[in-house]
Copies of this chain bind each other. A is one copy, B any other.
Amino acid sequence: MLGCVPDLDPEEFRRLGHQLVDWVADYRAGVADLPVRSEVAPGWVRSQLPAELPEEPRPLGDLLAEVDRVVVPGTTHWQHPSFFGYFPANASLTSLLGDMLSTGLGVQGMLWSTSPACTEMEQVLLDGLAGALGLGPEFTFAGGGGGSIQDSASSGALAALLAALHRSSDGAWRQTGADGRERVYVTAETHSSLAKAVRVAGLGARALRIVDPSPGSLAMSPAALEAALAADVAAGLRPILVCPTVGTTGTGAIDPVRAAADVAREHGAWVHVDAAWAGVAALCPEFRDLLDGVELVDSFCTNAHKWLLTAFDASLLWVRDATALPAALSITPEYLRNAATDSGEVVDYRDWQVSLGRRFRALKLWTVVHSYGLSGLRAHVREHVALAAAFADRVREDPGFTLAVEPSLALVCLRVVTGGGDAADDAASRTVLERINASGAALLTHTVVDGRYVIRVAIGSIATAKEHVDALWARLVETAAQVRAEIAAADALRREEPS
């Protein structure tokens, strides 16, 4: 007992902490045998947990029993090797070690002075990763820019938009707010976090311009962007921000960063690249073309908590002007004033984000980067891209399926082919997806492209190996065959009916 109240003393923590580590080790060792998707009904988890909070302490063993009995069946297992939904959210066990250090230290890194290591380890890491990703020296602190760890790409997009609003108004925005003439440029495939940022920033949905794709693609058309910007400027509106996406959520489409940046810069608009999922692929030289033109943009975001093996949350946001976010976001009440800040020699990361408080997130990312080495991180990306390519080949070769779009890195988008036309294919694709998810053998999510239902197969969970992708393919083939057989039987029945 260290303080007034019985928190665990370090020796009790040692014992219980080992017990928790063992629980996690056992969970991960057995997760492949659980159904991926939780099959509980709404309200079941609530009904199983005590509604009243306990007056007296309960032993940890009781809590772990409740986790086994209620939480595990109530959980969709994101770390399951057959989780192919959304994008992977890799919480590597390596990153868990770093996260334990972070919570163990219990540091709050709002200011440099509230923990220099929390700030400077983040700076070192983000500078190093800027180099490893090929972002260029202008995104490092030495080059006048710099990076920060945000909780999510949503927050990164919002922070970029706020910096853009500040810059475009020469600072008037801080005093007078939005003026109703701001415009922000995305495509129909851009992540909804951009629309949300526009709403949060008080611009209203009218500020959001959906730029058309280039013909035959889902990627932003530079010509359409140019036309939209020119028309808006002519109408007295103010282009604030253009957001090219590298790897859209739906299909992995790649907007042309260089061309978009060329157009945007002509009109003084901020360019924010959302590469939440695909950005980390640029660690591999062979994928670096995805970011062609990134040296022209104002901010760039990619998530370490997706494909870079770091437990949520850890979204990486770089800006080419280290003063841009503090200029937009800083507010300094007396109690936060300190000599280090006044010296101008330090970064206070609170000024790079909306929230004041912040965790020592760098530790988990640092543990991952140093424990894997860049070679290990590249191998992770490469092997999943190779698995996706092989999977896409199977789709191409099987007349019962079709690729909805060409695969993008480790994302494969496909449809079931029934021979009965678009509507029948869409219905069959939906049924196949729902049956596989209901089986618990794998988890898939969907999107809609040009009105057509699309099954997404996002490969990249840390535990996913060839056997799991093979098993998914076998199940897709089998389930689609069942669905086609049911359609044929129903058709036969219909033909037999008297007309």
Contacts and interface: CB of A to CB of B under 8 A. Distances in A.
A167 to B, nearest CB: 14
A176 B16 CA distance: 54
B96 A355 contact: no
A176 B370 CA distance: 47
Given A17-B25, A57-B373, A334-B446, A177 B75 contact: no
A26 B11 CA distance: 9
A54 interface: yes
Given A42-B340, A113-B76, A114-B76, A371 B25 contact: no
Contacts of A456: 335
A374 interface: yes
Contact of A4 (B97, B132, B195, B465): B465
A112 interface: yes
Interface string A267-303: 0000000000000000000000000000000000000
Contacts of A96: 13, 17, 100, 103-104
Contacts of A101: 20, 23-24, 67
A53 B308 CA distance: 14
B7 A94 contact: yes
Given A106-B91, A174-B205, A201-B200, A250 B373 contact: no
Contact of A207 (B16, B70, B177): B177
- Residue among A58, A70, A81, A116 with max Cβ neighbours from chain B (10 Å): A116
A343 to B, nearest CB: 7
A107 B28 CA distance: 13
B121 A45 contact: yes
A42 B97 contact: no
A178 B175 contact: no
Identical chains bound together, number: 2
A13 B7 contact: no
Interface in A145-175: 151-152, 154-155, 158, 162, 165, 173-175
Interface stretch (A122-130, A474-482, A488-496): A122-130
Given A2-B463, A70-B117, A106 B78 contact: yes
A26 B383 CA distance: 39
Contacts of A313: 355, 357, 359
B45 A4 contact: no
A452 to B, nearest CB: 11
Interface string A5-28: 111111111101110111111111
Interface string A378-389: 011001100100
Given A8-B92, A96-B104, 7 more contacts: A6-B372, A20-B97, A44-B120, A45-B120, A54-B369, A100-B103, A151-B355
13 contacts: A3-B461, A4-B384, A13-B21, A20-B100, A49-B121, A53-B132, A78-B107, A155-B354, A155-B355, A192-B336, A196-B331, A200-B200, A334-B448
